[in-house]
Each structure stands twice: as structure tokens, then as C-alpha cells.
């Protein structure tokens, strides 16, 4: 599903209003990347016409499993990113 820039910006503005979010910066213009302290810690990319994941356990890895190849919306990626931030990093 393709989302409009306006829709993405609206969602980012909503995220910025959350008490535990200090700042959101665009560091890399890819489909979906979670970065913490200037380093990717989790991601979901759409490269060469195909989705893949960068799992939290090894963010430099390219997980190309069937599940990793499923497309995600911005909302779905944000939900999974918040899970990584709260359950894996314990920062929210």
C-alpha cells in the first residue's frame, strides 16, 4: 500500500506529541528504519522491488523470510518499532 507524504507527515506529527518521544529526525530516506543513537537497530526496507527486515537481534542482517517480505504500512511499522523500543530496549 502506498501512503501519501501528507499522511506520513501527519503520523510523524502525532508521534512527536507522545510524552516519551523527544525527537524525530529523518536520517535515511528509506521505507522503514528504526534508528537509536545514530545506529540502525531495526528496519524493514523495500529494495529492488522486494521487502526485507533488519531484525533487532542483528540489524545488519537481511531477513528475506516469507514474513519479512510482507509489505507494511507506516502504522504497522510504528507499532512494531514501539514494541522493539519498549520490550527489547526498555526505553518506553
User: Whole-model pTM?
Assistant: 0.64
Higher per-residue pLDDT: 44 or 5: 44
pLDDT tens for each residue of 33-77 = 676 777 888 888 888 888 999 999 999 999 999 999 998 887 888
The domain total for the chain is 1
Structural domain harbouring 14: 5-88
Residue 44's Cβ-side half-sphere holds a number of Cα atoms within 13 Å equal to: 19
Task: Output DSSP code: residue 87.
Answer: I
Amino acid at each position: 500500500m502506498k501512503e501519501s507524504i501528507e499522511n506520513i507527515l501527519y503520523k510523524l506529527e502525532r508521534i512527536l506529541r507522545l510524552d516519551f518521544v523527544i525527537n524525530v529526525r529523518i536520517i535515511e530516506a528509506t521505507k522503514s528504519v528504526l534508528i537509536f543513537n545514530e545506529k540502525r537497530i531495526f528496519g524493514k526496507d523495500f529494495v529492488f522491488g522486494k521487502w526485507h527486515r533488519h531484525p533487532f537481534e542483528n540489524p545488519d542482517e537481511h531477513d528475506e523470510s516469507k514474513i519479512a517480505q510482507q509489505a507494511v504500512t507506516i502504522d504497522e511499522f510504528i507499532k512494531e518499532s514501539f514494541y522493539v523500543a519498549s520490550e527489547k530496549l526498555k526505553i518506553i
